[in-house]
Amino acid sequence: MSHVALKPPRAAEKMIGVLDLQGDVLEHLDHIERIGIPARPVKQAGDFDNLAGLILPGGESTCLARLLRIFSLDKIIIRKFHEGMKLWGTCAGAILLAKSIVGEAPHLGLIDIEVERNSFGSQLDSFASEVSIPKLSAAPIPMTFIRAPKILGVGEGVDVLLRMGDFIAAAESPDVLVTAFHPELTPSLAFHRYFARKCGLQPGRDKTDMDPPWDRTSWMRLARITL
Ligand code: GLN
């Protein structure tokens, strides 16, 4: 996608990147921009400069993993992670970050969780829900699961942020956040704020966890798309 017309950051300003290979790139950039943090699509080595954190969006993990390898971005992500860059994987992004995937070899393997892909069934078994996570927000947090994985278990050093019945929907280590669902497809900014703070950045506009004028197509202004 060649799309984004975000504000140019000031020199050396720390920012959050969104891996721009496939999936919800614009929607994540939109949410990061809404909390007042500079954001940038990331698709080549030079895009990693000044990143405090990187979001790996949802999409299709086999496809994303192949593109990561083809463009050697996997090696750069692992190196930058060891240099201090924080990571957040949503859905397929969480699968890429998992140390263990049922029936498959892991990809980046940067957080000690076990995931099972497509664990709820087909695309038709996608669903929306709402939860309360007091650590993140006083307001209820809407969630969208799209052919999502289940996080089956977490290893040492990984905390469960959200358990739902027989599976874990969100977890974190000190340096990596994973969500099986898609906060960028909802009006809630709570997870984006949480990740920004994890990156050592201070999100603005703290009065509300929801952005009232949000609508499903709000990200279109980033792509300069008009209906
Ligand atoms: N089903 C996809 C996979 O296993 C993930 C779907 C998503 O990211 N919404 O890679």
The CATH number of the domain holding residue 25 is 3.40.50.880
Q: What is the pLDDT of residue 1?
A: 46
In a domain, 202, yes or no: yes
74 lines ligand 1 (CB under 6 A): no
Q: What is the pLDDT of residue 204?
A: 81
What is the spatial distance between Cα 71 and Cα 30, in angstroms, rounded to a whole number?
25
Give residue 217's domain range.
Answer: 15-221
Whole-structure pTM value: 0.89
In a domain, 8, yes or no: no
Q: What residues are annotated to the active site?
A: 91, 182, 184
Collapsing DSSP to helix, strand or coil, 18 comes out as: strand
Please give the tally of structural domains in the chain: 1
Residue spans of beta strands (DSSP E) within the chain: 15-19, 39-42, 51-56, 86-90, 98-101, 111-116, 127-131, 141-145, 150-154, 159-164, 167-172, 176-179
89 lines ligand 1 (CB under 6 A): no
143 lines ligand 1 (CB under 6 A): no
pLDDT bin (cut points 50, 70, 90) of residue 138 is confident
Atom of ligand 1 nearest to the CA of 90: 8
